[in-house]
């Protein structure tokens, strides 16, 4: 453990406004760039349903449209038509808590250095609060409560050198997790943080180039995967092709494992691994580590189905659809009152009585955060007649909050931070409960125990598993600055 | 073959405006009836995404709200609040072609016999055109282009007797497929057509009663399944409880098999069978009838997953997620231009390269209608590197159009109506193609070959398999009347 | 007084749901008929701001669009484009109380006799309730709570003869005030009630024909006035030109004087008289009948300005703008709370202090109904420093409710029904109050005292002055039927 | 002529994006401040229909809502409810050309000096372009294309001293026309430019204070007029009362005469004069300067009615309503096609044939800018039968563009800049044409010829008459900076 890896334990409750898991996309030299971005964002929709936006450049002009809601809600045909040009950046944003306002939607567009700059960001900057306070003291006026805007102001105030110089210097100032896309009339810039916490890949579309948070966006638009962007690497893409710039020392890589466990789409490949196959391998490994006598294996849809199928296959127990998820749930849905909840109204998941009735059921889920969902599902299965319910979790217990963009939760809300596995078993009402070990998880990821990045170094990739063991790959800051932004977020303003 | 079973072959192209697969729900004596109906309709949303509506009664007053779109789009909190009372009927409507207008949304509400009547309908009436023409000749003014309104006018013109008498007589006049719910201040009436073509079940919610097209609605609201409503049976539900009335001779039952194959939710039970388990059994049976050497089994999401898992289990080949469906597609989505399609943009399904690359793939789907989707998926899998693609269809070839509410297609568009299986294999570009046999299908449904309702009679249920062999369970009418309604449907009016 | 002139005194409170002062327009053989109608309705907007609608025919097809709100809110460019054809009818509807629902918006469109029929109506039918009940008893289903729909059902049930025959017979069945426009693929029909209570004129537009409630619509679209339609006359307009049909005996004409006093636009001519000039003549005559010493004459905008200018001119006292009306008030305006009202917030009218301060003011208004507005304005002027306020009303006292479409009020609310002029002076807080005499009004209208239609007959026009003296020009019906429709209007339904 | 008065002649075409005639309002210490502001903005609606906004403070928090459209369209009841607190600023904005975007709507709200600041602006800053370029060079990021935002950045970058110091220094840096309202949690600041080009007054509302562009806002909310704010004066309003600060030398006052001629409401008093009475005096004076033989005097509604009544009174010719304006025209109105225009469709004004037919008509208007409207009205009157049309303009010829917020036009478009009065008479097709002289105008304003502020000094007020003679009361800047902002305005972005 050393200085680079944060050991401070910041106040758990304060981090929540910062979480911004999102999806980004960029295109350069592509016909119909806005339409292309629209379909790419649609493929990345699972990474963010709060807002969507696209900015394009055509000659020296920038065009911009963003709005709250799903991609299909935000854009009409006339919006796409207005977004002229062969270069674009797009963004979908995830709703955590608070501050779902249009000004926070991305890409953001600013006038800097006498020209327009659009930027989109996936991740979370841990020193944004401190930097914002400094910039405001110097007379900068912020438009949003987003940490992303800090980078725009750093670039705007940069003196001397090119815009790429300004971007590089600004990225060296901020810390945290990010995949960034920048668009100007002169080029597209894509950057991944020094730890590689958030994924980003480069692809080829005809004679043009594309970048995206996940490769499923390439498949959707018919682009060809070229390579993952390296941690601490920035690509300058323009008429001259793709120019890689290494703006940070090759730190120990620390890709977020939750991208595999829960967040990414099963058909995406991240840093060379297919998400579905990793999940299925986790399920198989889990069956080996924690076998049980049972009649059926079921998964909690959608993210746990791969692991459940893997468990079933390894265990030789039939896989069944024991839980059905309603796929029509949307943002405008009216939640049932307490009275109706008590009467048994349940919207998201429905157990299949004829599948579980009288059966010993293995229920595979990808993670336990607060435990409320697990308890509810176990009870639901018992109500539907399950004789035994054995819960199997295809990742280790989550004991620490995430500061890099995954909305896990404050520490005191994490079930595994407070209880032993035995206590958790009782808490969720299961007949048995088992988690995949960290070693098992790393093996499913195709890496040895040395891969976990505890400082020993070693061959192969390393991952950020801070939520499992609390060793954070960056410095953490006290939350003085955060309070400033939270206050701003609560204010009525910034319509 | 006899008179009861239609042998006329009406013009295939003309039937399309009639298809109205929908979902209905009714509640009587239930607190928060409107909210309850809202959640029930949400559970039935897969049966219709075009429009949604609820009507309630409170004392002698009726309240009504309907709109175009999903349940969550049509209703706001203030709408539900306004829908006072402990009795309600609700409806979701399926968009086939044309006539997606508010006046066609259901439930429809009319003033008849000096009081309000709401009605909701799932199915299709085959003599609606003829009846409408007669009613219009007598001076009735229609508000919509829906066949459902014919029943309202028949009831309004009925002289003498109670409203239930009027309903019974009206149902004896119409022919075709239907699950009907009627609501008046005095009671809720639910009716299923004499052949039982469309499903409907009765449930208990506390001290009140509920009826629904599918049992998944009961699970969602925490109601208890009581029994299926019988073909030709009508239930009068009011303060005195549930009063069954048999308004038609117990005809040979002819439940639509497509409810199991494709339409219903996997967690629903219809006439005693669970949909997921029937599908899985079809997949297993298919593996026995049409085995093949392969490395992986994949299903076309969502409706074919159960069959694919069954095939994999019976065949001993690993089941994998080889095709991922984007779950965010909505009604307002902008379709890609031809140029972008040719460039490879594909939105609905994405193959998982690492799953199929270099593999012999069994691709399980539930049916082939026009064949265009199958051809596209086969090509997609080959593009992703599949070495062989063996298509297995978990139902028999669809050779005849449906006149009872399932939007199959006109006959000349049905691939199996024109081509042999061998020709179809080439048409979709597969290495092999096989369909489940009708006998196999019936066995998966737990019925012998006698169950198919070819007129021999016999034990057990019978089914409508008209789309497979063309023996229709009702008389069919020439489409003179239909043209009248189609003309009306094309007119600009009736906003 | 005789049987034709109603002497029954129906319950005053019950008439209110019937009031429907509106504007109608029709065009035949005109290019861009929908656009033309749009601009004509815009000119007639003062006759109704609740809803607007247009129906057109092109070949055998009818197109239709209507909505709640102003003309400019209801129609977008694409709506007008969709309304194809060279013939149209349009309607604007006035909001009285209750029942502002889309189903009540006009023109209404129905399928009758195997074809589409659109109809629009200005006025009020006094026997609609009775007829509706009879029709419902025979099985007719009504779509709206509007009295207009009764006519559609009468036409639909008519057997034998042409559509014009059906219209004529239906108009002979209904009683009350109306200007009707009917549109079918075969022609445009315009009809004015036998008493001529509501105005309607015929105009020429190029080689086509137009009809409108007021001639200002002709000026706006550049049409040429041809003639007023006669009471009891119906015009059949089609490819063969204009065919007049007299469907009722030439009853004593009884044009509503309130059209001149308050309702119509000053630039319209009705039955040969210009509205502004009639109003100015009323003001002059009022100055002669009720002179006073004063420094300034002011009018209550907008409808009383003409009379005020006339008064000032005849009295030789300067006319000033002493009251300014805010012209931006709209339907969605938020009304001030009681607290703010008490603090002095007043929105509609503002006195001009420098005009009235220290002055003796003559305040001219067109009528007094409940007296609340007059009292408020008098107080407002005193607060602004007026030394004396002399109120002069350019019409006689309103003592009786209207059943023909003008929303005067229930009888017990009419100030002049309860109080003498002296008592009214005190009630509104004026220094003096005077009304124009009936004779004076008739002279301003260019008619002698015999013109009032009290049964003596005589040369020249006659008018309906029922609101002044209670002699109604048609039979009145008890309101049994009305209750039925009011109940329906209060129901939640008919979205 | 001296340095203070601009003599440069900037390119006429470039000034157009700057014009922002608007209305501002502020309240401090008033219950229901947001509602109060809503009604005040409604009274000021004639000053701007493009957008509306309100910001309030409650404790240390600021609340903010703004939108495109009329006050009644922008605010709903829940918006007003959310705007908590007893202090508010409000704004309505006028649409000139381009840049009608939400980001340009006011009040704008910014975080400066660690707290929120709202500002609203009526007028136009002539050095905003230059200042913006300087600020952007220093790294400031602008959110809008409005000149108002320059002031916010100047305040944000101000170091040392209080916020009032920062406002004073910033106002000393900008030049041009302005009435500004600033709101922070600590107080309300209202400032009027050193020349007093734009009006602003102070009023009392109970124990609180209000400021407004026009006094009609005070009348509407029941506030009491206290005094006009002085040119170069700033009022600091907080718990301690009203503190006046003189931030600029008392320059020669140069109130815009167009506020009287056209822009302000007739019931407002500006710098002690009532607008209606000034207009009537202008009309009387015009009758003396340019009499004519005629039968009727008519005015072009709405702004010329007062002058027309004055002319009629002085000339002893009857005043009549010869032109009627449709009061329902709104922003969403569909303009007639060229074809319909040629067929005679005219929407805004309608002549009253019976008033003008066969008559010699004096048509009074307030000004001629491009002359197209005058020509059209003259023709319209002739078409309606007028025998002679004598045009009388109640202000001098407009020969120079305005840079202070009135949207006159570019110079080459001004009819009087190109043609003599005789040529103009022919151009508009009148029988005669006369303008009020500058001396006559000043006398109607109650000021001698010395009042015009040509540099001689003298008693009484002075006015800005730059549009009549081209002597501008401030320095003018080249439009280098303007191009930057115009480019930004044309860009697609900043949604």
- Contact at CB, B63 and C156, closer than 8 angstroms: no
- With bands split at pLDDT 50, 70 and 90, how would you rate the model's confidence at C408? low
Locate C136 and state its tokens: 């419902």
pLDDT at A461: 59
- With bands split at pLDDT 50, 70 and 90, how would you rate the model's confidence at D446? confident
DSSP string, A160-189: SS-HHHHHHHHHHH--EEEEEEEEETTEEE
Q: Do B243 and B288 share a domain, yes or no?
A: no
pLDDT at A338: 86
Distance from CA of B46 to the nearest CA of C (A): 24
Over residues D119-148, the pLDDT tens digits come to: 999 999 999 989 999 999 999 999 888 889
> Is the pLDDT at A136 greater than 90, yes or no?
yes
* Minimum-distance CB partner of C344 among D43, D71, D222: D222
Compute the average pLDDT of residues B470-494. 53
The neighbours of chain A, by the rule of 3 or more Cβ pairs under 8 Å, are B, D
Q: Any idea which residue has 């469907």 for tokens?
A: C247
Over residues C238-248, the pLDDT tens digits come to: 999 999 999 99
- D130 in a structural domain: yes
pLDDT at B477: 77
> Is the pLDDT at B489 greater than 70, yes or no?
no
- A10 in a structural domain: no
Is residue D216 annotated as a catalytic residue, yes or no?
no
pLDDT at B417: 92
Q: Calculate the average pLDDT of chain B.
A: 86
Strands A463-464 and A255-256: parallel
pLDDT at C9: 26
- A92 in a structural domain: yes
Please give the C-alpha separations between residue D371 and each of A86, D305, D375, D416, D427, in angstroms, as whole numbers: 45, 19, 6, 9, 8
Over residues A245-293, the pLDDT tens digits come to: 999 986 678 999 999 999 999 999 999 999 999 999 999 999 999 999 9
H/E element, B480: helix B480-490
User: What CATH number is associated with residue B360?
Assistant: 3.40.50.2020
pLDDT at B459: 39
Give the count of domains, chain C. 2
Query: Which residues of chain B are within 8 Å of residue C157 when distances are taken between CB atoms?
Result: 138-139
Compute the average pLDDT of residues C384-395. 97
Query: Which residues of chain C are within 8 Å of residue B107 when distances are taken between CB atoms?
Result: none
> Is the pLDDT at B99 greater than 80, yes or no?
no
Q: Do D289 and D236 share a domain, yes or no?
A: no
- A45 in a structural domain: yes
Q: How far apart are CA D376 and CA D430, in angstroms?
A: 11
Specify the higher pLDDT residue, B92 or A450. Answer: B92
Compute the average pLDDT of residues D268-272. 95
- C367 in a structural domain: yes
Q: How far apart are CA B275 and CA D389, in angstroms?
A: 85
> Is the pLDDT at A47 greater than 80, yes or no?
yes
> Is the pLDDT at D304 greater than 90, yes or no?
yes
| 8 Å CB contact between C17 and C467 | no
C-beta neighbour count of A46 within 10 angstroms: 20
Over residues A51-78, the pLDDT tens digits come to: 999 999 999 999 999 999 899 999 999 9
Cite the DSSP H helix spans in A331-388.
338-342, 353-356, 372-383
| ipTM of the predicted assembly exceeds 0.90 | no
Query: Which residues of chain D are within 8 Å of residue A102 when distances are taken between CB atoms?
Result: 495
pLDDT at D486: 41
- Contact at CB, A156 and D142, closer than 8 angstroms: no
Q: How far apart are CA D383 and CA C99, in angstroms?
A: 43
pLDDT at A451: 41
pLDDT at A446: 86
- B455 in a structural domain: no
Q: Do A148 and A79 share a domain, yes or no?
A: yes
C-alpha C385: how far from chain center: 36
pLDDT at D482: 43
Compute the average pLDDT of residues D312-329. 92
Query: Which of D5, D17, D22, D466 is labelled catalytic?
Result: D22
pLDDT at B453: 41
Q: Do C29 and C123 share a domain, yes or no?
A: yes
Q: Do D342 and D413 share a domain, yes or no?
A: yes
Full residue range of the structural domain in which residue A135 is found: 23-254
Compute the average pLDDT of residues B305-326. 96
Q: Do C408 and C299 share a domain, yes or no?
A: yes
Over residues D428-438, the pLDDT tens digits come to: 999 999 999 99
* Final residue in a domain of this structure, among D434, D449, D464: D449
* Minimum-distance CB partner of B344 among A221, A306, A336: A221
Query: Which residues of chain C are within 8 Å of residue B139 when distances are taken between CB atoms?
Result: 112, 140, 153, 156-158
Q: Do D344 and D432 share a domain, yes or no?
A: yes
pLDDT at C114: 81
- With bands split at pLDDT 50, 70 and 90, how would you rate the model's confidence at D96? low
- Contact at CB, C156 and B142, closer than 8 angstroms: no
* Final residue in a domain of this structure, among A197, A221, A254: A254
- D14 in a structural domain: no
Q: Any residues with CB less than 8 A from the CB of A458 and at least 6 apart, and which? A: A448, A450, A451
> Is the pLDDT at C111 greater than 80, yes or no?
yes
In chain C, which residue's Cα lies nearest the Cα of B134? C114
Compute the average pLDDT of residues B338-344. 83
> Is the pLDDT at C2 greater than 80, yes or no?
no
Q: Any residues with CB less than 8 A from the CB of A70 and at least 6 apart, and which? A: A45, A49, A52, A331, B328, B330
- With bands split at pLDDT 50, 70 and 90, how would you rate the model's confidence at A160? confident
Lowest mean per-residue pLDDT among C75-89, D49-63, D88-102: D88-102
- Contact at CB, D337 and C35, closer than 8 angstroms: yes
- A50 in a structural domain: yes
- With bands split at pLDDT 50, 70 and 90, how would you rate the model's confidence at C487? very low
Distance from CA of C109 to the nearest CA of B (A): 7
- With bands split at pLDDT 50, 70 and 90, how would you rate the model's confidence at A296? very high
pLDDT at B19: 43
Locate D315 and state its tokens: 């000339």
Distance from CA of D155 to the nearest CA of A (A): 8
pLDDT at B102: 80
Compute the average pLDDT of residues A349-357. 95
Q: Calculate the average pLDDT of chain A.
A: 86
- With bands split at pLDDT 50, 70 and 90, how would you rate the model's confidence at B55? very high
Compute the average pLDDT of residues C202-209. 97
pLDDT at C331: 63
pLDDT at D210: 98
pLDDT at D460: 47
Query: Which residue spans within D85-223 are E strands per DSSP?
Result: 87-93, 108-112, 115-125, 176-184, 187-192, 201-205, 208-212
Compute the average pLDDT of residues A163-176. 95
- Contact at CB, D493 and A55, closer than 8 angstroms: yes
Distance from CA of B77 to the nearest CA of A (A): 7
Q: Do B223 and B124 share a domain, yes or no?
A: yes
- Contact at CB, C63 and B140, closer than 8 angstroms: no
- With bands split at pLDDT 50, 70 and 90, how would you rate the model's confidence at C338? confident
Mutation target vs A (from B220, B322, B384; most A CBs, 10 A cutoff): B220
Q: Do A230 and A120 share a domain, yes or no?
A: yes
Query: Which residues of chain A are within 8 Å of residue D156 when distances are taken between CB atoms?
Result: 139-141
> Is the pLDDT at C15 greater than 70, yes or no?
no
- Contact at CB, D352 and C276, closer than 8 angstroms: yes
* Minimum-distance CB partner of B344 among A222, A265, A327: A222
Lowest mean per-residue pLDDT among A221-230, B470-479, C241-250: B470-479
What percentage of residues in chain C have a pLDDT greater than 90?
A: 70
Query: Which residue spans within A328-435 are E strands per DSSP?
Result: 349-351, 360-365, 388-393, 432-435
> Is the pLDDT at C173 greater than 90, yes or no?
yes
Compute the average pLDDT of residues B125-145. 92
What predicted TM-score, i.e. pTM, was given to this entire model? Answer: 0.84
Q: Do A359 and A409 share a domain, yes or no?
A: yes
pLDDT at B18: 37
Q: Do B86 and B224 share a domain, yes or no?
A: yes
> Is the pLDDT at A492 greater than 80, yes or no?
no
Q: What SS3 state is found at B330? A: coil
Compute the average pLDDT of residues A87-109. 80
pLDDT at C494: 30
Q: Calculate the average pLDDT of chain C.
A: 86
Mutation target vs A (from B352, B359, B446; most A CBs, 10 A cutoff): B352
Query: Which of B15, B22, B56, B271 is labelled catalytic?
Result: B22
> Is the pLDDT at C443 greater than 90, yes or no?
yes
pLDDT at C478: 57
Locate D8 and state its tokens: 């440069």
User: What CATH number is associated with residue C167?
Assistant: 3.60.20.10
What percentage of residues in chain B have a pLDDT greater than 70?
A: 86
pLDDT at B401: 87
Query: Which residues of chain C are within 8 Å of residue D355 when distances are taken between CB atoms?
Result: 274, 276-277
Chains A and C touch (3+ CB pairs under 8 A): no
Chains D and A touch (3+ CB pairs under 8 A): yes
Q: Do D281 and D167 share a domain, yes or no?
A: no
């Amino acid at each position: 453990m050393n200085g680079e890896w944060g050991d401070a334990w910041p106040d758990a409750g304060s981090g929540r406004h910062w979480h911004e898991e999102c999806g980004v996309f960029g295109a350069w030299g592509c016909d119909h760039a806005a339409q292309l971005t629209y379909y790419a964002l649609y493929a990345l929709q699972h990474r963010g349903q709060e807002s969507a936006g696209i900015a394009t450049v055509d000659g020296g002009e920038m065009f911009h449209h963003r709005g709250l809601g799903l991609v299909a809600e935000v854009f009409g045909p006339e919006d796409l038509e207005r977004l002229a040009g062969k270069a674009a950046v797009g963004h979908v944003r995830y709703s955590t808590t608070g501050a779902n306002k249009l000004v926070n939607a991305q890409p953001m567009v600013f006038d800097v250095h006498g020209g327009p700059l659009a930027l989109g960001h996936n991740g979370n900057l841990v020193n944004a609060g401190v930097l914002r306070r400094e910039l405001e003291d110097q007379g900068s006026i912020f438009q949003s409560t987003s940490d992303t805007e800090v980078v725009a102001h750093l670039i705007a105030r940069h003196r001397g050198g090119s815009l790429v110089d300004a971007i590089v210097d600004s990225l060296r100032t901020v810390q945290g997790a990010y995949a960034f896309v920048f668009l100007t009339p002169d080029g597209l810039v894509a950057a991944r943080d020094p730890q590689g916490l958030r994924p980003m890949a480069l692809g080829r579309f005809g004679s043009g180039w594309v970048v995206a948070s996940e490769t499923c966006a390439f498949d959707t638009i018919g682009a060809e995967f070229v390579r993952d962007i390296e941690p601490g690497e920035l690509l300058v893409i323009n008429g001259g092709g793709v120019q890689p710039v290494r703006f940070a020392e090759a730190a120990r890589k620390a890709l977020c494992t939750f991208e595999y466990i829960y967040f990414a789409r099963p058909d995406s490949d991240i840093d060379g691994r297919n998400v579905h196959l990793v999940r299925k391998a986790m399920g198989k490994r889990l069956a080996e580590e924690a076998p049980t006598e049972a009649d059926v294996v079921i998964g909690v849809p959608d993210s746990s189905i791969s692991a459940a199928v893997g468990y079933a296959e390894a265990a030789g127990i039939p896989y069944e659809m024991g839980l059905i998820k309603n796929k029509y749930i949307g943002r405008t849905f009216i939640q049932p009152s307490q009275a109706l909840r008590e009467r048994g109204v349940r919207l998201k998941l429905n157990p299949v009585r004829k599948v579980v009735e009288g059966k010993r059921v293995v229920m595979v889920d990808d993670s336990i955060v607060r435990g409320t969902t697990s308890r509810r599902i176990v009870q639901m299965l018992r109500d539907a007649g399950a004789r035994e319910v054995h819960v199997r979790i295809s990742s280790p217990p989550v004991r620490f909050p995430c500061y890099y963009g995954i909305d896990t939760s404050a520490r005191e809300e994490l079930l595994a931070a407070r209880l032993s596995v035995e206590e958790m078993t009782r808490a969720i009402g299961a007949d048995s409960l088992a988690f995949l070990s960290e070693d098992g998880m790393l093996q499913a990821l195709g890496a040895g125990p040395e891969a976990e990045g505890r400082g020993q170094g070693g061959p192969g990739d390393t991952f950020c598993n801070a939520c499992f063991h609390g060793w954070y790959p960056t410095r953490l800051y006290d939350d003085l600055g955060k309070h400033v932004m939270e206050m701003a977020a609560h204010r009525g303003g910034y319509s």
